[in-house]
Structure 1
Amino acid sequence: MSQAAPKGCSFLIQDVGNEEIFCPEKFSEEQHMFAQTARDFMEREVLPHVEAMEHGDFDKMVELLKKSAEAGFLMMDIPEEYGGLGVDKSTSFIVTEYISQYAAFSVTFGAHTGIGTLPLLLFGNHEQKTKWLPKLATGELIAAYALTEPGSGSDAMAAKTKAVLDEDGEHYVLNGTKMWITNAGFADLFTVFCQVDGTKFTAFLVERDRAGVDVGAEEKKMGIKGSSTRQLILEDVRVPKENLLGEIGKGHKIAFNILNIGRFKLGVGVAGAAKRAVGLAAKYAEERQQFGQSLSEFGAIRAKLGDMATQIYALESMAYRVAGYMDESLGALDTKAPDYIQKMMDAIEEYAVEDSIMKIVGSEVLDFVVDEAVQIHGGYGYSQEYEVERLYRDARINRIFEGTNEINRMLIPGTILKRTMKGELNLFEMIQKVEAELGSSKHATAPGQEDDPGLALEIFQTEQAKRVAVYAANQAIQKHMADLREQQEILMDLADMIIQVYLADSTVARTQEVVRLKGAGASAPHRAACRLAVSQAYQKTVGLAENLMAHLTHGEKLHAHLDNIARLAPRSRVDQIGMRRVVADAVVEKEKYPF
């Protein structure tokens, strides 16, 4: 990327197709090397032992986590001065994607390298980092993150765990119970969130071997059975005050920033599991014979494979776009500056909306893909003898992890409106632009379906989807400005429109890069996936807007709004069946995700 990273949410107001983005087709030689190393590690070291780990062999899980340290995977995000590799975010996310082929290992790995290590990395002082980061980088210590409590799920700030300064003035005494703590069965270092003096939300670093630290029994989970999930029980645990992480009463800054990163990493990571599901389904469809031919010859099966690959293509386009943004933003910072950490946090926070979108889309794409993979396997897909059965169960947790999808949906329009009111996002100018277009006598006209490497139709549909989403948001704001936060159903629909706009915008931007790099002929499956994904996003956006207008207005006003939506988004008929067939042909030919 040659230009500076744009502001977060700018995809809503900027012109489609004018931005070069980072995408898998632009991976460097070094990034391909990391990807291959991670792929080989999973195939040779992890996947052969899945059965043992699924049945509670946590010793094997710990052994493999430490082996991944030998490959350098635990030190990717840790700076060199603390024993790490300090690679860019894109490279770190590439490894995360390949590690995610086995969900339980991915969850264990992510709890250590992500939410377990990043609070210390981003908010710890030099002494804390020097003491613990080198050992976390080598796997000598394993980390965990303790935020959730029995009485506080999505409302993390309602934590009841208390920390009181002891009479000696040198220790805090911690009491409380945390639940759903990944890695709790074997973690050595916990980031624990407490209320200091009952009201000041604060984080502490708590070693496992301190008196009063205990864990509950392993949770009996639907999926990710190979990962350890237990309660963390703290009874009069004396923690030295030098273990306080960040500032007293500022624990929310740690929790929310770590969640942003976790949401984004989840969006990237699930792509690895989804790709594996596509490969398993494609191979099974090729091998399984029915009515004298392989399943892969049936149009209904090929349609499933085409849709599965297309949705992953769109997810990848969105995810690595933001990875590129983060590398641009973080790469421009002076790591020696005294305010480096704050600027780093600001850079990460800038893409909070995109992070929530990644979490939502990634988890829901994976759910769709594994469901279709089971369906392609038929009865065998319901049998534990086939891997897709486990993939199906493992996928479900992702819509709950890192803040539920419902919470993340409500964050999206709320954050956008907040930035608009603060003057950080010029959404009102876009609203005025849409109103001016509706006030003119000129109607939007969709280009034809010609095989245009310039993607004219896709650009048009994305531009008009933006206008429809902005128009709908404006109507919701005008009616519910005072209480819009309380209108959760409206916020959810607005979020879904914004998600579809970002999906279409990112897919077009990536496909333009592919055409530029590979040429129009070589990129035919990419362009088919792009047209299919964008046309579906266009239809969803228009449908959501029409349904929202039916709630906000009625009678003649409703008809006027529907007419305006029709003017902004005229019907443009796309041969979705034909596009799906092109993508499916590529999947069947390669017997895996083809991009």
Structure 2
Amino acid sequence: MNKAGIVGGEFLLTEDQLDRIVTPEDFTDEQHMFAETTKDFVQREVLPHDEQIEKLDYELTVKLMRKAGELGLLSADIPEAYGGLELDKVSSTLINESLSRASSFALSIGAHVGIGTLPIVFFGNEQQKQKYLPLLATGEKIAAYCLTEPASGSDALGAKTTAVLSSDGRHYVLNGSKLYITNAGFADIFIVYAKVDGKHFSAFIVERGMPGFSMGPEEKKMGIKGSSTRPLFFEDVEVPAENLLWEEGKGHLIAFNILNIGRFKLAAGCLGGAKEAIELSAKYANTRTQFGKPISSFPLIRQKLADMNVRTYVMESMVYRTSGYIDQMLRQLPGQDGISYAKGIAEYALECSINKVFATEALDFVADEGVQIHGGYGYIQEYKIERVYRDSRINRIFEGTNEINRLLIPGMLMKKAMKGELALLDKIQQLQEELLQWMPPYEMESGEEWIAYFVQSAKNLFLYCGGLAVQTLGTKLEEEQNILALLADMMIRVYAMESAWLRTKKQLEAHGKPKAVPYLEMTQVYAEEAFEEMHRLCKTAISALAKGDTLRTHLSILKKCTRYTPSNLLATKKSIADRVLSSERYIV
């Protein structure tokens, strides 16, 4: 076990210690200060210009980004030695979440500070860091990340852009194109991926203005209209040899690990978006009247707000749990070189993908329900919820589609098991023997006991189905995308349930049950409903993996393992909705 806590993926096998789990209740005064500074900047400097930003005003966006740089909002992840604040990852995550109300502008900043700047932070050499990071920290230079091509999206290694080292070794000649590049219209520094000699996938730092480097027109997008998205073209672009990032052939390690961080940061942005959607919807529900009374008095509207708040609570618990893991891992790396960073970031790649899928789909749910609460007004641009709904849709495509991430999640788990980093197969074998004799409880003393039971049983269900999949399909499992997706959905629910439960347990231990009731209620709702989903997912998987008497045996075991006494979730949701409508915002 590493010092940061359980290793990546090990949450399926054991439960981490509470003192190693970061929750929003653990934020320091300094972290709260960064959040308030960010929110104040958005409120004072960005929102008054919202309409102009949405019309794609490059000059205004750059001006505001430089103002953000003056406040340190662009330099949280940059080391102090290069002009940054070198904040912990929890603080930078909180900044990222707090920017979300800035809509398209938040995306422009996010692309700059995340996937645009971090490749140099983690994989640049000393000369590159000294040259570029101070400029990126202030916003004097803006960064962009260039991976996607017309013929390679999810299949990033299928890129066609090439780089050839000149005969004198002084520069690489780039030829090819990139597509859907955020910040392209005003960026100065571009992290570009190309294959050296058509074979060795590598990364380069390309500067605007290099001869042969050009770009196409702005894409006309469904949402995030205030962010720049343009294609790039490289025609014999001579990039200085010293602008090769890390080493030839190491581009895939840079690209995939930066995407891991990008997926996690995207989840933090979705969290902020969900909180805004709840606030907009709760305020509207309290003021909109129908049949002589506010629609917030109608049970179906109240249930929607409760469900929105519960998913956001779970998302928040996952995001900050993961930020704590990443922060602790990076702080204990044995070195500050590319190899160390690549291994460190990769440790929680699985959890980053889980965050990305859960958060983007949770925000879509929250935004959709927000529009429904607004009714016809939610379809009108005058109301912000309409934009939240449109802007949210891209998140399931960004940073690797959710379908690709669903394939990666179980794939990364199996690789860890094969390398001996996780005792996964031993645990599966042990569990299969135990379940034959195990009998489920019929009654428990408290809701806390039921939640703990749901979490542990959900882990057992995944291990049971995962073991059956491995035994039935063997190496062919990697070709069965439908089974992999079912396993991924189980893992996502396990991590979500446990993240909410660990946060709630910390509150129970710190303050006792009376003060922890709101935490318990939201965890109870999510855990019970997710456990029902686990049953459905397992039944679907088992039915695809077995037949005849063997199928009936497996389904009998599944039925036994999913037996429980349901609680009155409607009453619990009523209590949650009361708090949301009273505060008119997301609330614990």
* Normalised TM-score (structure 1): 0.96
2:549 is equivalent to residue 556 of structure 1: yes
Cross-structure match for 2:480: 487
For structure 2, the residue ranges without an aligned partner over 5 or more in a row are none
Structure 1: distance between partners of 2:199 and 2:266: 31
Moved more, 37-46 or 488-497: 37-46
Cross-structure match for 1:346: 343
2:411 to 395, 414, 433: 414
Contact 1:468 1:545 in 2 (8 A): yes
Deviation at 1:168, TM superposition (A): 2.9
Deviation at 1:26, TM superposition (A): 0.7
Deviation at 1:3, TM superposition (A): 6.5
Q: Secondary structure at the match of 1:522?
A: helix
Structure 2: distance between partners of 1:16 and 1:122: 28
Q: Secondary structure at the match of 1:176?
A: strand
Structure 1: distance between partners of 2:240 and 2:17: 54
Structure 2: distance between partners of 1:447 and 1:408: 38
1:446–1:67: structure 2 CA closer, same or farther, 3 Å change rule? farther
Cross-structure match for 2:513: 520
Deviation at 1:166, TM superposition (A): 2.0
1:444 to 426, 436, 440: 440
2:495 is equivalent to residue 502 of structure 1: yes
Cross-structure match for 1:249: 249
Structure 2: distance between partners of 1:584 and 1:395: 24
2:511 is equivalent to residue 511 of structure 1: no
Contact 1:159 1:194 in 2 (8 A): yes
Structure 1: distance between partners of 2:19 and 2:421: 20
* Normalised TM-score (structure 2): 0.97
Counterpart mapping for 1:297-446 below 5 A: 297-333=297-333, 337=335, 340-440=337-437, 442-446=438-442
Q: Secondary structure at the match of 1:237?
A: strand
Q: Secondary structure at the match of 1:192?
A: strand
Structure 1: distance between partners of 2:429 and 2:105: 50
2:567 is equivalent to residue 570 of structure 1: no
Structure 1: distance between partners of 2:561 and 2:259: 36
Contact 1:16 1:462 in 2 (8 A): no
Structure 1: distance between partners of 2:368 and 2:102: 17
2:567 is equivalent to residue 586 of structure 1: no
User: Residue type of the partner of 2:394?
Assistant: I
Counterpart mapping for 1:30-429 below 5 A: 30-333=30-333, 337=335, 340-429=337-426
Q: Secondary structure at the match of 1:465?
A: helix
For structure 1, the residue ranges without an aligned partner over 5 or more in a row are none
Contact 2:5 2:17 in 1 (8 A): no
User: Residue type of the partner of 2:433?
Assistant: A
Contact 2:271 2:316 in 1 (8 A): yes
Deviations 1:198-256 (A, max 9, x none): 11111111110111111110000000000000011111111110111111111101101
Structure 2: distance between partners of 1:326 and 1:210: 36
Deviation at 1:18, TM superposition (A): 6.0
Deviation at 1:446, TM superposition (A): 4.8
Percentage identity across aligned positions? 49
User: Residue type of the partner of 2:440?
Assistant: A
Deviation at 1:16, TM superposition (A): 7.4
Q: Secondary structure at the match of 1:384?
A: coil
User: Residue type of the partner of 2:441?
Assistant: T
Deviation at 1:439, TM superposition (A): 2.8
User: Residue type of the partner of 2:68?
Assistant: S
Q: Secondary structure at the match of 2:74?
A: helix
Deviation at 1:588, TM superposition (A): 0.5
Structure 2: distance between partners of 1:540 and 1:496: 9
Contact 1:458 1:535 in 2 (8 A): yes
Contact 2:123 2:337 in 1 (8 A): no
Deviations 1:16-72 (A, max 9, x none): 776641000110110011111111111111122111111222221111111110110
Contact 1:446 1:457 in 2 (8 A): no
Structure 2: distance between partners of 1:131 and 1:76: 18
Structure 2: distance between partners of 1:428 and 1:364: 30
Deviation at 1:138, TM superposition (A): 0.6
Structure 1: distance between partners of 2:182 and 2:526: 35
Cross-structure match for 1:535: 528
Deviations 1:258-298 (A, max 9, x none): 00000111111110011000000000000101111111111
Cross-structure match for 1:475: 468
User: Residue type of the partner of 2:125?
Assistant: N
Deviation at 1:447, TM superposition (A): 4.2
Deviation at 1:333, TM superposition (A): 3.4
1:501–1:109: structure 2 CA closer, same or farther, 3 Å change rule? same
Structure 1: distance between partners of 2:345 and 2:194: 24
1:446–1:261: structure 2 CA closer, same or farther, 3 Å change rule? farther
Structure 2: distance between partners of 1:367 and 1:39: 23
Structure 1: distance between partners of 2:433 and 2:278: 45
Structure 2: distance between partners of 1:77 and 1:351: 18
